[in-house]
Amino acid sequence: MFGMDTLASAYLVQAIDIAHELGLFEPTTYQKHKKLRHSYDLTAWSLFHWQCTLSLQFQTAPLLRTPPHSPLPDPDLNPDWYSEIWLKYPSTSVLVPMQYRYTFKARVEFSLILNAAMLQASTNESDNQVVQSGTGRIIETIEKLEAWYRTLPDPLLPSNIVFPSQLKLHLHYCYVLIQLYEILASYGNNSSPPLLLDQDKLQKSLSHYRAYFETILRIHYLRHSFEYGNMMLPQFLTMLAFLALNKLDSLRARDSSEPNISSMDVGDTEPRAAKATLLIAQKGLSDQGRGYYVAKNVLQDVLNPGRAGSG
């Protein structure tokens, strides 16, 4: 994010080594001091989630092959374990809870699925083996993620999410599924032997998650703006920007009586809608670019006048 990935990766490796030395990933029942045991477990799970997130971002194999041994408690039965964050808005004196325990638990469960999937994807296989075995693994991962989504607790349902952390959880979910479905769509039935994928179902699923992804980002912009720094927002905004650019390319090709590039991108069939989406992405990247190197560079690419559909 800051153009210092090599240094950051070294610190992550060192942090995990220190965690192993402290025994954070081992059962902590031996620790009699309740608060210290709690801090060990919370740190271990937070580190597990963070290394998984960075592995996905940089497309590398996860550094941790197994999750911490100490299980996370049920948020409903043990709310004190997770603690709570209370917010006070200027318009009221009432404190509002962020329901942090549900977000943390769901985030960790999401990371468990991704971590296992990325470990499988990092195996050495030939190109044809990757297509054949990779397709099955991708479909399996999609099914697990969609099952995870169906079991989200009430505060994290789409109709109830309000806070940035909740919105970003749903954004991350869509972000991953869009990438997985795009990989499946790129495989098609051109492999040998053919994979016999249902292309209509793939396109509908991809359209669904792209639309959902754009909708949540628009809600995030309206409720919270993009001005505060967050390391995940540039990734989401980058995807949104290029989805909008691809749609504009597609519409330009259609107007030129050329073969349609894609019918699965954001913005429906109205150029103004796609341009509006692109403007939101540009606004977000501009805001995030004040603090992050990557966002600033992506914005320059998006604004490149030589890019088709940018006008």
**Residue 9 CB: number of other CB atoms within 10 A?**
14
Residue 205: both structure tokens together: 């699923």
pLDDT at residue 5, as a whole number: 66
Between CA 67 and CA 63 the distance in angstroms is 11
| Spans in the chain with pLDDT lower than 50 | 1-3, 259-264, 308-311
**Residue 185 CB: number of other CB atoms within 10 A?**
16
pLDDT at residue 307, as a whole number: 53
The DSSP bridge partners found for residue 97 are 86
Q: What is the 3-state secondary structure (H, E, C) of 51-86?
A: HHHHHHHHCCCCCCCCCCCCCCCCCCCCHHHHCCCE
Between CA 258 and CA 56 the distance in angstroms is 36
pLDDT at residue 311, as a whole number: 44
Please tell me the total number of residues recorded for the chain in this structure. Answer: 311
